[in-house]
Structure 1
Amino acid sequence: MIPAAFDYQAPTTLDDAVRILADAGEDAKVIAGGQSLLPVLRMRLAAPTVLIDLSRCAELRGVREDGGSLVIGAMTTHYDVQGDHLVREHAALLAMATDTVADPQVRHRGTFGGSLAHADPAGDLLAPALALDCEFVVAGMDGRRTVAANEFFVDYFTTAMAWNEILCEVRVPKYTGWLAHYEKFNRVAQAWSIVGVAAALRVDGSRIAEARVGLTNMASVPVRARGVEDALVGEEATPESIRAAAEHAAEGTSPTADGDGDAEYRTQLAKVLTGRAVTAAMTA
Protein backbone atom coordinates (compact mmCIF):
# COMPACT_ATOMS: atom_id res chain seq x y z
CA MET A 1 0.00 0.00 0.00
CA ILE A 2 1.17 3.55 -0.71
CA PRO A 3 1.33 6.01 2.23
CA ALA A 4 -1.02 8.96 2.35
CA ALA A 5 0.41 12.22 1.00
CA PHE A 6 2.52 14.33 3.37
CA ASP A 7 4.96 17.25 3.32
CA TYR A 8 8.62 16.36 3.85
CA GLN A 9 11.15 18.36 5.84
CA ALA A 10 14.82 17.45 6.41
CA PRO A 11 16.37 19.93 8.86
CA THR A 12 20.12 19.95 9.45
CA THR A 13 20.04 21.04 13.11
CA LEU A 14 18.09 19.94 16.16
CA ASP A 15 16.87 23.51 16.74
CA ASP A 16 15.38 23.62 13.25
CA ALA A 17 13.77 20.22 13.74
CA VAL A 18 12.14 21.34 16.98
CA ARG A 19 10.87 24.53 15.37
CA ILE A 20 9.44 22.69 12.35
CA LEU A 21 7.72 20.18 14.64
CA ALA A 22 6.16 22.92 16.73
CA ASP A 23 4.93 24.76 13.63
CA ALA A 24 3.58 21.59 12.01
CA GLY A 25 1.39 20.62 14.95
CA GLU A 26 0.35 17.32 16.50
CA ASP A 27 -0.30 15.61 13.17
CA ALA A 28 3.40 15.72 12.26
CA LYS A 29 5.73 12.75 12.67
CA VAL A 30 9.46 12.60 13.32
CA ILE A 31 11.38 9.89 11.45
CA ALA A 32 14.77 8.56 12.55
CA GLY A 33 15.89 5.30 10.91
CA GLY A 34 12.35 4.57 9.75
CA GLN A 35 12.41 0.87 10.60
CA SER A 36 9.23 1.15 12.69
CA LEU A 37 7.50 4.16 11.15
CA LEU A 38 7.74 3.29 7.45
CA PRO A 39 5.73 0.04 7.71
CA VAL A 40 3.07 1.94 9.68
CA LEU A 41 2.92 4.61 6.99
CA ARG A 42 2.65 2.05 4.21
CA MET A 43 -0.27 0.36 5.97
CA ARG A 44 -1.84 3.81 6.55
CA LEU A 45 -2.03 3.18 10.28
CA ALA A 46 -0.57 6.69 10.53
CA ALA A 47 -1.14 9.58 8.14
CA PRO A 48 1.02 12.53 9.19
CA THR A 49 0.61 15.87 7.49
CA VAL A 50 4.37 16.52 7.78
CA LEU A 51 7.28 14.08 8.04
CA ILE A 52 10.39 15.50 9.72
CA ASP A 53 13.51 13.53 8.79
CA LEU A 54 16.34 13.76 11.35
CA SER A 55 18.94 11.94 9.24
CA ARG A 56 20.78 15.16 8.35
CA CYS A 57 21.18 16.28 11.98
CA ALA A 58 24.80 15.26 12.52
CA GLU A 59 24.77 16.54 16.11
CA LEU A 60 22.40 13.69 17.04
CA ARG A 61 24.89 10.95 16.12
CA GLY A 62 27.83 9.45 17.97
CA VAL A 63 29.01 8.21 21.37
CA ARG A 64 31.10 10.27 23.77
CA GLU A 65 32.19 10.31 27.39
CA ASP A 66 31.00 12.93 29.83
CA GLY A 67 32.53 12.28 33.25
CA GLY A 68 30.90 9.21 34.76
CA SER A 69 28.49 8.75 31.86
CA LEU A 70 28.36 7.88 28.21
CA VAL A 71 26.26 10.07 25.95
CA ILE A 72 24.71 8.29 22.97
CA GLY A 73 23.12 10.45 20.29
CA ALA A 74 19.58 9.46 19.43
CA MET A 75 20.41 9.07 15.72
CA THR A 76 23.33 6.72 16.35
CA THR A 77 22.62 3.51 14.46
CA HIS A 78 22.40 0.14 16.16
CA TYR A 79 25.42 -0.92 14.12
CA ASP A 80 27.50 1.93 15.51
CA VAL A 81 26.37 1.21 19.08
CA GLN A 82 27.31 -2.46 18.60
CA GLY A 83 30.83 -1.68 17.55
CA ASP A 84 31.61 1.28 19.77
CA HIS A 85 34.50 0.55 22.15
CA LEU A 86 33.17 2.93 24.80
CA VAL A 87 29.80 1.16 24.90
CA ARG A 88 31.42 -2.28 25.09
CA GLU A 89 33.76 -1.16 27.87
CA HIS A 90 31.39 0.87 30.03
CA ALA A 91 27.89 -0.39 29.12
CA ALA A 92 28.37 -3.92 27.85
CA LEU A 93 24.73 -4.80 28.50
CA LEU A 94 23.56 -2.27 25.89
CA ALA A 95 25.99 -3.65 23.31
CA MET A 96 24.83 -7.21 23.97
CA ALA A 97 21.17 -6.31 23.67
CA THR A 98 21.82 -4.37 20.47
CA ASP A 99 23.49 -7.47 19.02
CA THR A 100 20.06 -9.17 19.14
CA VAL A 101 18.06 -6.42 17.41
CA ALA A 102 16.51 -7.68 14.16
CA ASP A 103 19.09 -8.33 11.40
CA PRO A 104 22.18 -6.57 9.99
CA GLN A 105 20.16 -4.55 7.48
CA VAL A 106 17.88 -3.15 10.18
CA ARG A 107 20.82 -2.50 12.51
CA HIS A 108 22.54 -0.44 9.80
CA ARG A 109 19.46 1.75 9.33
CA GLY A 110 17.64 1.65 12.67
CA THR A 111 18.67 4.08 15.41
CA PHE A 112 19.27 3.74 19.12
CA GLY A 113 17.02 6.65 20.02
CA GLY A 114 14.33 5.74 17.53
CA SER A 115 13.93 2.29 19.04
CA LEU A 116 13.65 3.69 22.55
CA ALA A 117 11.25 6.47 21.56
CA HIS A 118 9.06 3.93 19.75
CA ALA A 119 8.56 2.27 23.17
CA ASP A 120 7.50 -1.16 21.94
CA PRO A 121 7.51 -3.34 25.10
CA ALA A 122 8.95 -6.20 23.02
CA GLY A 123 11.85 -4.01 21.90
CA ASP A 124 15.19 -5.25 23.16
CA LEU A 125 16.75 -1.95 24.25
CA LEU A 126 14.11 -0.76 26.72
CA ALA A 127 14.83 -3.21 29.55
CA PRO A 128 18.61 -2.66 29.41
CA ALA A 129 18.09 1.12 29.44
CA LEU A 130 15.86 0.75 32.49
CA ALA A 131 18.21 -1.64 34.28
CA LEU A 132 21.14 0.73 33.76
CA ASP A 133 19.23 3.81 34.97
CA CYS A 134 19.69 5.68 31.71
CA GLU A 135 18.51 9.25 31.36
CA PHE A 136 16.70 10.59 28.29
CA VAL A 137 17.39 14.13 27.15
CA VAL A 138 14.52 15.57 25.12
CA ALA A 139 14.35 18.92 23.36
CA GLY A 140 11.37 21.22 22.81
CA MET A 141 10.66 24.88 22.20
CA ASP A 142 11.29 25.60 25.89
CA GLY A 143 14.73 23.97 25.82
CA ARG A 144 15.97 20.60 26.99
CA ARG A 145 14.87 18.47 29.91
CA THR A 146 16.04 15.13 31.28
CA VAL A 147 13.72 12.20 32.03
CA ALA A 148 14.78 9.18 34.07
CA ALA A 149 14.28 5.77 32.47
CA ASN A 150 11.74 4.71 35.09
CA GLU A 151 9.59 7.71 34.10
CA PHE A 152 10.24 7.74 30.35
CA PHE A 153 8.25 4.62 29.40
CA VAL A 154 4.59 5.25 30.17
CA ASP A 155 2.57 2.58 28.33
CA TYR A 156 2.46 0.65 25.07
CA PHE A 157 4.20 2.77 22.43
CA THR A 158 3.92 5.77 24.78
CA THR A 159 6.66 7.82 26.41
CA ALA A 160 6.83 10.87 28.64
CA MET A 161 7.74 13.07 25.66
CA ALA A 162 5.23 15.70 24.62
CA TRP A 163 4.10 15.76 20.99
CA ASN A 164 6.39 18.72 20.30
CA GLU A 165 9.55 17.21 21.83
CA ILE A 166 12.37 15.22 20.20
CA LEU A 167 14.69 12.73 21.88
CA CYS A 168 18.20 14.04 21.28
CA GLU A 169 20.48 11.86 23.43
CA VAL A 170 20.61 9.16 26.08
CA ARG A 171 22.95 9.38 29.06
CA VAL A 172 24.22 6.04 30.33
CA PRO A 173 26.04 5.73 33.67
CA LYS A 174 29.31 3.86 33.32
CA TYR A 175 29.30 0.25 34.51
CA THR A 176 32.95 -0.43 33.87
CA GLY A 177 33.97 -3.94 34.91
CA TRP A 178 30.42 -5.16 35.47
CA LEU A 179 29.43 -8.56 34.15
CA ALA A 180 26.45 -8.56 31.80
CA HIS A 181 24.26 -10.67 29.58
CA TYR A 182 21.07 -10.25 27.55
CA GLU A 183 19.00 -13.42 27.22
CA LYS A 184 16.26 -13.32 24.58
CA PHE A 185 13.65 -15.92 23.69
CA ASN A 186 11.91 -15.81 20.32
CA ARG A 187 10.46 -18.38 17.97
CA VAL A 188 12.55 -17.50 14.93
CA ALA A 189 15.82 -15.65 14.46
CA GLN A 190 15.62 -11.86 14.22
CA ALA A 191 12.10 -11.70 15.69
CA TRP A 192 10.84 -9.62 18.61
CA SER A 193 11.35 -11.00 22.11
CA ILE A 194 8.59 -13.12 23.55
CA VAL A 195 10.44 -12.48 26.81
CA GLY A 196 13.90 -11.05 27.35
CA VAL A 197 16.10 -10.55 30.42
CA ALA A 198 18.84 -7.94 30.81
CA ALA A 199 21.26 -8.68 33.66
CA ALA A 200 24.21 -6.63 34.91
CA LEU A 201 26.22 -7.67 37.96
CA ARG A 202 29.06 -6.22 40.02
CA VAL A 203 31.02 -8.95 41.73
CA ASP A 204 33.19 -8.47 44.82
CA GLY A 205 35.32 -11.51 45.38
CA SER A 206 33.05 -14.51 45.22
CA ARG A 207 29.85 -12.62 45.97
CA ILE A 208 27.44 -10.46 43.99
CA ALA A 209 27.74 -6.92 45.33
CA GLU A 210 25.16 -5.27 43.06
CA ALA A 211 22.61 -6.58 40.61
CA ARG A 212 20.44 -4.92 37.99
CA VAL A 213 17.87 -6.99 36.11
CA GLY A 214 15.36 -5.71 33.56
CA LEU A 215 12.58 -7.65 31.83
CA THR A 216 11.44 -7.30 28.23
CA ASN A 217 7.79 -7.87 27.24
CA MET A 218 6.52 -8.71 30.72
CA ALA A 219 4.24 -5.66 30.92
CA SER A 220 3.24 -2.67 28.82
CA VAL A 221 6.60 -1.12 29.76
CA PRO A 222 10.00 -2.58 30.69
CA VAL A 223 10.16 -3.83 34.29
CA ARG A 224 12.92 -4.01 36.90
CA ALA A 225 13.02 -7.42 38.58
CA ARG A 226 13.63 -5.98 42.04
CA GLY A 227 12.94 -9.27 43.80
CA VAL A 228 15.68 -10.95 41.79
CA GLU A 229 18.11 -8.13 42.46
CA ASP A 230 17.48 -8.22 46.21
CA ALA A 231 17.84 -12.00 46.31
CA LEU A 232 21.17 -11.94 44.45
CA VAL A 233 22.97 -9.21 46.38
CA GLY A 234 25.36 -10.60 48.98
CA GLU A 235 25.09 -14.15 47.67
CA GLU A 236 27.67 -16.35 46.02
CA ALA A 237 26.60 -17.10 42.46
CA THR A 238 25.94 -20.78 42.88
CA PRO A 239 23.40 -22.64 40.73
CA GLU A 240 21.17 -22.92 43.80
CA SER A 241 21.27 -19.22 44.71
CA ILE A 242 20.69 -18.16 41.10
CA ARG A 243 17.76 -20.55 40.75
CA ALA A 244 16.23 -19.28 43.97
CA ALA A 245 16.64 -15.64 42.94
CA ALA A 246 15.14 -16.31 39.50
CA GLU A 247 11.93 -17.51 41.13
CA HIS A 248 11.20 -13.84 41.94
CA ALA A 249 11.45 -12.76 38.29
CA ALA A 250 7.74 -12.37 37.57
CA GLU A 251 6.91 -10.44 40.73
CA GLY A 252 5.20 -7.14 39.90
CA THR A 253 4.77 -7.97 36.22
CA SER A 254 1.62 -8.14 34.09
CA PRO A 255 2.45 -10.25 31.02
CA THR A 256 0.00 -10.26 28.15
CA ALA A 257 -1.45 -13.22 26.28
CA ASP A 258 -1.10 -13.44 22.50
CA GLY A 259 -0.26 -15.89 19.75
CA ASP A 260 3.22 -16.42 21.15
CA GLY A 261 2.07 -17.48 24.61
CA ASP A 262 -0.22 -16.78 27.52
CA ALA A 263 0.63 -15.03 30.77
CA GLU A 264 1.50 -18.27 32.56
CA TYR A 265 3.90 -19.24 29.79
CA ARG A 266 5.64 -15.85 29.92
CA THR A 267 5.86 -16.03 33.70
CA GLN A 268 7.71 -19.32 33.50
CA LEU A 269 9.90 -18.02 30.69
CA ALA A 270 10.91 -15.01 32.78
CA LYS A 271 12.11 -17.28 35.58
CA VAL A 272 14.04 -19.60 33.28
CA LEU A 273 15.62 -16.80 31.25
CA THR A 274 16.60 -14.87 34.36
CA GLY A 275 18.51 -17.89 35.60
CA ARG A 276 20.21 -18.25 32.23
CA ALA A 277 21.06 -14.55 32.00
CA VAL A 278 22.64 -14.38 35.45
CA THR A 279 24.53 -17.64 34.92
CA ALA A 280 25.83 -16.51 31.52
CA ALA A 281 26.96 -13.16 32.95
CA MET A 282 28.85 -14.88 35.75
CA THR A 283 30.58 -17.33 33.41
CA ALA A 284 31.43 -14.93 30.60
Structure 2
Amino acid sequence: MTGVLEGFATIAVVIALGALLADRGIVDAHGQRSLSLASFYLASPALLVTVLEKSDPSRVLSGPLVATAAGVIVSAGTMVAIARARHLDRGTAVVASLCSAYVNAGNLGIPIAAYALGDAALVVPALLMQLLVLQPLALTVLDVVTSPERPTVAKILSRPVTNPLTIASVAGLLLATTDTTLPQPVQAPLELVGGMAVPAMLIAYGVALRLGPLPGRGVTPRALATVTSLKMVVQPVAAYVVGRFAVGLEGHELFAVTLLSALPTAQNVFVVAMRYDRGILLARDAIFVSTLASAPVAVVISALLA
Protein backbone atom coordinates (compact mmCIF):
# COMPACT_ATOMS: atom_id res chain seq x y z
CA MET A 1 0.00 0.00 0.00
CA THR A 2 2.84 2.38 0.83
CA GLY A 3 4.42 1.82 -2.60
CA VAL A 4 1.17 2.73 -4.35
CA LEU A 5 0.83 6.00 -2.45
CA GLU A 6 4.51 6.85 -2.95
CA GLY A 7 4.13 6.42 -6.72
CA PHE A 8 1.16 8.77 -6.84
CA ALA A 9 2.95 11.30 -4.63
CA THR A 10 6.01 11.32 -6.89
CA ILE A 11 3.91 12.01 -9.98
CA ALA A 12 1.99 14.78 -8.20
CA VAL A 13 5.18 16.53 -7.13
CA VAL A 14 6.70 16.55 -10.64
CA ILE A 15 3.43 17.77 -12.19
CA ALA A 16 3.30 20.53 -9.58
CA LEU A 17 6.85 21.55 -10.52
CA GLY A 18 5.74 21.90 -14.14
CA ALA A 19 2.83 24.07 -13.08
CA LEU A 20 5.21 26.18 -10.97
CA LEU A 21 7.56 26.70 -13.92
CA ALA A 22 4.62 27.89 -16.01
CA ASP A 23 3.33 30.13 -13.24
CA ARG A 24 6.75 31.79 -12.95
CA GLY A 25 6.94 32.27 -16.71
CA ILE A 26 9.99 30.00 -17.03
CA VAL A 27 8.25 27.61 -19.45
CA ASP A 28 5.56 28.92 -21.82
CA ALA A 29 3.25 27.15 -24.26
CA HIS A 30 6.01 26.86 -26.86
CA GLY A 31 8.34 25.34 -24.30
CA GLN A 32 5.62 22.90 -23.23
CA ARG A 33 5.15 21.74 -26.82
CA SER A 34 8.91 21.37 -27.27
CA LEU A 35 9.11 19.21 -24.14
CA SER A 36 6.26 17.01 -25.39
CA LEU A 37 7.76 16.54 -28.86
CA ALA A 38 11.26 15.89 -27.50
CA SER A 39 9.79 13.19 -25.30
CA PHE A 40 7.84 11.68 -28.21
CA TYR A 41 10.69 11.58 -30.72
CA LEU A 42 13.77 11.10 -28.53
CA ALA A 43 13.42 10.38 -24.83
CA SER A 44 10.47 7.96 -24.89
CA PRO A 45 11.98 5.71 -27.60
CA ALA A 46 15.23 5.54 -25.62
CA LEU A 47 13.29 4.65 -22.46
CA LEU A 48 11.33 1.92 -24.24
CA VAL A 49 14.49 0.21 -25.47
CA THR A 50 16.07 0.18 -22.01
CA VAL A 51 12.87 -1.11 -20.33
CA LEU A 52 11.95 -3.79 -22.85
CA GLU A 53 15.46 -5.16 -23.32
CA LYS A 54 15.34 -6.33 -19.68
CA SER A 55 11.88 -7.93 -19.94
CA ASP A 56 11.06 -11.64 -20.08
CA PRO A 57 9.38 -12.32 -23.47
CA SER A 58 7.81 -15.52 -22.14
CA ARG A 59 5.40 -13.37 -20.13
CA VAL A 60 3.78 -12.29 -23.40
CA LEU A 61 2.10 -15.69 -23.58
CA SER A 62 1.14 -15.84 -19.91
CA GLY A 63 -2.26 -15.67 -18.25
CA PRO A 64 -1.70 -12.13 -16.93
CA LEU A 65 -1.25 -10.91 -20.51
CA VAL A 66 -4.57 -12.44 -21.55
CA ALA A 67 -6.36 -10.78 -18.65
CA THR A 68 -4.59 -7.47 -19.25
CA ALA A 69 -5.46 -7.57 -22.96
CA ALA A 70 -9.09 -8.32 -22.14
CA GLY A 71 -9.33 -5.21 -19.99
CA VAL A 72 -7.85 -3.08 -22.77
CA ILE A 73 -10.08 -4.56 -25.48
CA VAL A 74 -13.30 -4.20 -23.47
CA SER A 75 -12.60 -0.63 -22.39
CA ALA A 76 -11.23 0.67 -25.69
CA GLY A 77 -13.85 -1.23 -27.72
CA THR A 78 -16.64 0.27 -25.65
CA MET A 79 -15.20 3.75 -26.19
CA VAL A 80 -15.01 3.20 -29.95
CA ALA A 81 -18.69 2.19 -30.01
CA ILE A 82 -19.65 5.25 -27.94
CA ALA A 83 -17.57 7.53 -30.19
CA ARG A 84 -19.34 6.23 -33.27
CA ALA A 85 -22.73 6.73 -31.65
CA ARG A 86 -21.78 10.32 -30.75
CA HIS A 87 -20.32 10.96 -34.24
CA LEU A 88 -16.87 11.97 -33.00
CA ASP A 89 -14.17 12.47 -35.61
CA ARG A 90 -11.83 9.50 -35.90
CA GLY A 91 -8.79 11.27 -34.48
CA THR A 92 -10.62 12.35 -31.33
CA ALA A 93 -12.16 8.88 -31.05
CA VAL A 94 -8.69 7.31 -31.06
CA VAL A 95 -7.44 9.67 -28.34
CA ALA A 96 -10.60 9.01 -26.29
CA SER A 97 -10.02 5.26 -26.62
CA LEU A 98 -6.43 5.68 -25.43
CA CYS A 99 -7.71 7.72 -22.48
CA SER A 100 -10.04 4.88 -21.54
CA ALA A 101 -7.57 2.00 -21.87
CA TYR A 102 -3.91 3.11 -21.93
CA VAL A 103 -2.59 2.67 -18.39
CA ASN A 104 0.32 4.52 -16.83
CA ALA A 105 2.46 1.38 -16.88
CA GLY A 106 5.79 3.11 -17.32
CA ASN A 107 6.38 5.79 -14.74
CA LEU A 108 3.70 4.63 -12.26
CA GLY A 109 3.24 0.94 -13.04
CA ILE A 110 6.93 0.11 -12.69
CA PRO A 111 7.36 1.57 -9.18
CA ILE A 112 4.05 0.09 -8.04
CA ALA A 113 5.00 -3.34 -9.39
CA ALA A 114 8.43 -3.10 -7.77
CA TYR A 115 7.52 -1.65 -4.38
CA ALA A 116 3.86 -2.55 -3.82
CA LEU A 117 3.77 -5.92 -5.59
CA GLY A 118 7.37 -6.98 -5.07
CA ASP A 119 8.22 -7.74 -8.71
CA ALA A 120 8.77 -5.14 -11.41
CA ALA A 121 8.31 -7.83 -14.08
CA LEU A 122 4.58 -7.96 -13.27
CA VAL A 123 4.04 -4.77 -15.27
CA VAL A 124 5.70 -6.19 -18.40
CA PRO A 125 2.49 -7.71 -19.90
CA ALA A 126 0.78 -4.31 -19.73
CA LEU A 127 3.81 -2.60 -21.25
CA LEU A 128 4.09 -5.05 -24.12
CA MET A 129 0.35 -5.10 -24.84
CA GLN A 130 0.30 -1.32 -25.07
CA LEU A 131 3.61 -0.71 -26.79
CA LEU A 132 3.40 -3.46 -29.38
CA VAL A 133 -0.37 -3.61 -30.06
CA LEU A 134 -2.48 -0.73 -28.76
CA GLN A 135 -0.06 2.11 -29.36
CA PRO A 136 1.07 1.13 -32.90
CA LEU A 137 -2.55 0.59 -33.93
CA ALA A 138 -3.64 3.96 -32.51
CA LEU A 139 -0.70 5.83 -34.03
CA THR A 140 -1.31 4.25 -37.43
CA VAL A 141 -4.93 5.42 -37.41
CA LEU A 142 -3.90 8.89 -36.26
CA ASP A 143 -1.25 9.09 -38.98
CA VAL A 144 -3.88 8.16 -41.57
CA VAL A 145 -6.61 10.56 -40.42
CA THR A 146 -4.25 13.53 -40.01
CA SER A 147 -2.43 13.05 -43.31
CA PRO A 148 -3.17 15.81 -45.88
CA GLU A 149 -3.22 13.19 -48.65
CA ARG A 150 -5.10 9.94 -48.94
CA PRO A 151 -2.43 7.33 -48.13
CA THR A 152 -1.92 4.17 -50.16
CA VAL A 153 -2.25 0.72 -48.61
CA ALA A 154 1.53 0.35 -48.67
CA LYS A 155 1.96 3.61 -46.77
CA ILE A 156 -0.66 2.60 -44.20
CA LEU A 157 1.07 -0.72 -43.59
CA SER A 158 4.47 0.96 -43.31
CA ARG A 159 3.45 3.64 -40.80
CA PRO A 160 3.79 1.49 -37.64
CA VAL A 161 7.39 0.59 -38.51
CA THR A 162 8.32 4.22 -39.15
CA ASN A 163 7.02 5.54 -35.83
CA PRO A 164 9.86 6.09 -33.32
CA LEU A 165 7.94 4.56 -30.42
CA THR A 166 7.08 1.43 -32.40
CA ILE A 167 10.64 1.04 -33.65
CA ALA A 168 11.96 1.34 -30.11
CA SER A 169 9.41 -1.19 -28.80
CA VAL A 170 10.33 -3.78 -31.41
CA ALA A 171 14.06 -3.17 -30.90
CA GLY A 172 13.77 -3.64 -27.14
CA LEU A 173 11.78 -6.84 -27.51
CA LEU A 174 14.27 -8.24 -30.02
CA LEU A 175 17.12 -7.51 -27.62
CA ALA A 176 15.28 -9.34 -24.86
CA THR A 177 14.34 -12.29 -27.09
CA THR A 178 17.89 -12.78 -28.36
CA ASP A 179 19.44 -12.09 -24.95
CA THR A 180 21.59 -9.40 -26.54
CA THR A 181 23.42 -6.83 -24.46
CA LEU A 182 24.12 -3.48 -26.04
CA PRO A 183 27.69 -2.15 -25.88
CA GLN A 184 28.15 0.26 -22.99
CA PRO A 185 28.85 3.25 -25.31
CA VAL A 186 25.35 2.68 -26.72
CA GLN A 187 23.57 1.59 -23.54
CA ALA A 188 24.77 4.50 -21.39
CA PRO A 189 23.47 7.31 -23.65
CA LEU A 190 20.16 5.48 -24.11
CA GLU A 191 19.68 5.24 -20.36
CA LEU A 192 20.69 8.87 -19.87
CA VAL A 193 18.31 10.17 -22.55
CA GLY A 194 15.56 7.74 -21.55
CA GLY A 195 15.70 9.10 -18.03
CA MET A 196 14.41 12.40 -19.42
CA ALA A 197 11.20 10.91 -20.81
CA VAL A 198 9.06 10.64 -17.68
CA PRO A 199 9.98 14.01 -16.10
CA ALA A 200 9.62 15.74 -19.48
CA MET A 201 6.11 14.32 -19.94
CA LEU A 202 5.06 15.16 -16.39
CA ILE A 203 6.50 18.68 -16.48
CA ALA A 204 4.84 19.34 -19.86
CA TYR A 205 1.57 18.13 -18.39
CA GLY A 206 1.95 20.42 -15.37
CA VAL A 207 2.64 23.37 -17.68
CA ALA A 208 -0.49 22.54 -19.67
CA LEU A 209 -2.56 22.41 -16.48
CA ARG A 210 -1.38 25.88 -15.48
CA LEU A 211 -1.66 27.57 -18.87
CA GLY A 212 -4.84 25.93 -20.15
CA PRO A 213 -8.40 26.01 -18.83
CA LEU A 214 -8.89 24.23 -15.53
CA PRO A 215 -9.66 20.49 -15.78
CA GLY A 216 -13.35 19.97 -16.30
CA ARG A 217 -13.80 23.27 -18.14
CA GLY A 218 -12.19 22.27 -21.41
CA VAL A 219 -14.41 19.28 -22.21
CA THR A 220 -17.97 18.34 -21.32
CA PRO A 221 -18.55 16.53 -18.01
CA ARG A 222 -20.29 13.77 -19.98
CA ALA A 223 -17.24 13.07 -22.14
CA LEU A 224 -14.87 13.18 -19.18
CA ALA A 225 -17.09 10.92 -17.06
CA THR A 226 -17.33 8.40 -19.89
CA VAL A 227 -13.59 7.94 -20.45
CA THR A 228 -12.65 7.98 -16.76
CA SER A 229 -15.38 5.47 -15.86
CA LEU A 230 -14.18 3.13 -18.58
CA LYS A 231 -10.59 3.56 -17.42
CA MET A 232 -11.02 3.27 -13.67
CA VAL A 233 -13.96 0.85 -13.41
CA VAL A 234 -14.63 -1.11 -16.60
CA GLN A 235 -11.01 -1.94 -17.45
CA PRO A 236 -9.97 -3.41 -14.05
CA VAL A 237 -13.28 -5.26 -13.67
CA ALA A 238 -12.89 -6.84 -17.12
CA ALA A 239 -9.29 -7.82 -16.35
CA TYR A 240 -10.37 -9.35 -13.04
CA VAL A 241 -13.24 -11.34 -14.53
CA VAL A 242 -11.17 -12.74 -17.39
CA GLY A 243 -8.19 -13.35 -15.13
CA ARG A 244 -10.15 -15.26 -12.54
CA PHE A 245 -12.75 -17.12 -14.57
CA ALA A 246 -11.12 -17.54 -18.00
CA VAL A 247 -7.42 -18.10 -17.31
CA GLY A 248 -7.57 -19.21 -13.68
CA LEU A 249 -5.43 -16.55 -12.03
CA GLU A 250 -5.42 -16.55 -8.25
CA GLY A 251 -3.94 -14.70 -5.30
CA HIS A 252 -1.06 -12.37 -5.99
CA GLU A 253 -1.22 -12.67 -9.80
CA LEU A 254 -4.92 -11.81 -9.87
CA PHE A 255 -4.37 -8.89 -7.51
CA ALA A 256 -1.49 -7.60 -9.65
CA VAL A 257 -3.45 -7.78 -12.92
CA THR A 258 -6.45 -5.98 -11.41
CA LEU A 259 -4.41 -3.28 -9.67
CA LEU A 260 -2.25 -2.54 -12.72
CA SER A 261 -5.34 -2.36 -14.95
CA ALA A 262 -6.70 0.31 -12.59
CA LEU A 263 -3.72 2.61 -13.10
CA PRO A 264 -4.65 6.07 -14.39
CA THR A 265 -4.40 7.16 -18.00
CA ALA A 266 -0.76 7.45 -19.05
CA GLN A 267 0.85 10.86 -19.56
CA ASN A 268 2.08 9.88 -23.00
CA VAL A 269 -1.54 9.87 -24.20
CA PHE A 270 -1.33 13.64 -23.73
CA VAL A 271 1.94 13.65 -25.71
CA VAL A 272 0.22 11.75 -28.54
CA ALA A 273 -2.75 14.12 -28.46
CA MET A 274 -0.36 17.08 -28.70
CA ARG A 275 1.57 15.45 -31.53
CA TYR A 276 -1.54 14.87 -33.66
CA ASP A 277 -3.58 17.86 -32.40
CA ARG A 278 -6.62 15.74 -31.54
CA GLY A 279 -8.47 15.53 -28.20
CA ILE A 280 -5.81 17.52 -26.33
CA LEU A 281 -8.08 18.84 -23.55
CA LEU A 282 -9.83 15.48 -23.20
CA ALA A 283 -6.48 13.72 -22.75
CA ARG A 284 -5.28 16.32 -20.24
CA ASP A 285 -8.47 16.18 -18.16
CA ALA A 286 -8.75 12.38 -18.31
CA ILE A 287 -5.19 12.05 -16.99
CA PHE A 288 -5.90 14.53 -14.22
CA VAL A 289 -9.19 13.00 -13.07
CA SER A 290 -8.08 9.37 -13.40
CA THR A 291 -4.90 10.14 -11.45
CA LEU A 292 -6.96 11.64 -8.62
CA ALA A 293 -9.34 8.66 -8.70
CA SER A 294 -6.60 6.03 -8.89
CA ALA A 295 -5.53 6.32 -5.24
CA PRO A 296 -8.96 5.48 -3.73
CA VAL A 297 -9.54 2.84 -6.42
CA ALA A 298 -6.18 1.22 -5.55
CA VAL A 299 -7.10 1.24 -1.86
CA VAL A 300 -10.41 -0.54 -2.60
CA ILE A 301 -8.73 -3.15 -4.83
CA SER A 302 -6.02 -3.73 -2.23
CA ALA A 303 -8.59 -4.14 0.54
CA LEU A 304 -10.56 -6.68 -1.52
CA LEU A 305 -7.75 -8.68 -3.14
CA ALA A 306 -4.39 -8.08 -1.44
Does 1 or 2 have the higher relative contact order (CA < 8 Å, sep 6+)? 2
More helix by share: 2
TM range (shorter): under 0.3
TM-score by length of 2: 0.26
